[in-house]
Amino acid sequence: MKKCLFSFCCLLAWCINAHAINGFFNHGIGTKNKGMAGAGVALAEDAISGGLNPANLAHLGTRVDFGASIFAPKRGFTVHDDAHDSSNQIRPGYYKSQIDIFLLPQFGFNYQINEKSSVGLIVIPGGGNSEYTSPVFNDVLWQSASEPTGTDFFQLYVHMPYSRKITDEFSFGIGPVFAVETMRLRGLQPFKLASDHPDDVTNNSWDFAYGVGASAGLRYQAHEHLSFGVGVQFRINMSKFDRYRGTIADDGNLDIPESFQVGMAFNITDDITLLADYQRIYYDQVKATGNEPSAILQGANVGGSDSPSGGWDNANIKKVGIRWQYDPKTVLRAGYSHSNQITPHEHLLVNYLAPLAAEDHISIGATRELDNGHELSVSLTYSPRETPSGKNVLTGQSSDLLLRQTEFEVTYAWKF
């Protein structure tokens, strides 16, 4: 039992490794929103913002936004030589992920049907990987492992919202969300011993999952200088990763959890707007992320419906931002967001190879209007270095995580 539990603790780390810096989710949607650290659910600025709050689209007119981000995470972990049982330990040392730069395009289109309603098409990617050139888990439980060790996990969200103004002050939006995920896991051979499906744990090439959900939003202009907004993305029910059902809890069923964001935008002058948002993501409602690791003590293996998982907490994210109309053609932005650590410290080692959630994001951004209704927007986000520590309660082996992230994004837009 102890050997299986140790295997499980290592194995879970490879279930997910997303670009989205708050677990499954980006810290913001669109370049303008990211320039304020994700604040702005009550602010209608570009077509891509319809992925955050579809009610914003009714205020924008017909426009196209196309851009891409360069995402550069630094990830790694140090494992110490302090295990009680050397046969169950990971070889001590520092492990650094080798691939640190990802290019992720995005797209938004909003068509103004009439003065009150519009329809949109928004495509938002996510993803990333970890790749360690050494066989990290070699000799664990006296089993051999291949190299490289790592996970590839990529997502694509397609939003198709309809937005309508009920009055000049109040608008709503709603629409379907289609999602595609692809995953590949490598180097996990020793952990077949802890799985209900040992042939579906690792090195099975790429697997795909598909799902459909919905998003909705409201926007209310309470005063000339004050607006409120709320955006909700309902749970996206994904098909199963059959090739990795021996790794992912609930037989490979990795749904996208429900989330919502509420906020306000307050114009303190004609040129300066302050924003404050709150976002909550319900990770504990999805078995593949929310099941408690202690389930293994009741005899559950990895991969079943009630199998153990990472024990993630729900994410509670506070965001503040500022928008400054510097001159008639230039907008400057800045923002800060803070999240709780979604991986509880008592379960930190369970997730230590996939440090998904940075707690702090600091952002700046700008937009410059060009000729003929065109504009160029940029944003830069930095997540400071974080080094949380954890310990395997069975073997006593301790480890330290390393996570630091930078993202630069550019979007070009034209209005019709």
Higher confidence at residue 284 or residue 3? Answer: 284
DSSP 3-state of 395: coil
pTM: 0.88
pLDDT of residue 4: 46
Q: How far apart are CA 101 and CA 113, in angstroms?
A: 39
Q: Mean pLDDT across the chain, nearest whole number? A: 85
pLDDT of residue 93: 82
| Domain residue ranges in the chain | 2-415
For 268-300, the DSSP string reads SSSSEEEEEEEEEE-GGGSHHHHS-GGGGGGTP
pLDDT of residue 354: 54
Whether residue 269 is predicted with pLDDT greater than 90 in this model: the reply is: yes
* Fold of the CATH domain 2-415: Porin (2.40.160)
Q: Helical H runs in 60-153?
A: none
Higher confidence at residue 1 or residue 313? Answer: 313
pLDDT digits (tens, 9 = 90+) for 68-124: 999 888 878 788 888 776 666 778 888 887 767 888 899 999 999 999 999 999 999
3-state SS of 5-57? HHHHHHHHHHCCCCCCCECCECCCCCHHHHCCCCCCCCCCCCHHHHHCCHHHH
pLDDT digits (tens, 9 = 90+) for 109-139: 999 999 999 999 999 987 777 788 888 888 7
Q: Secondary structure of the chain: what % helix, strand, coil (to 5)?
A: 20, 50, 35
Beta carbons within 8 Å of 190's beta carbon, 6+ residues apart:
7, 10, 137, 140, 141, 143, 144, 145
Whether residue 203 is predicted with pLDDT greater than 50 in this model: the reply is: yes
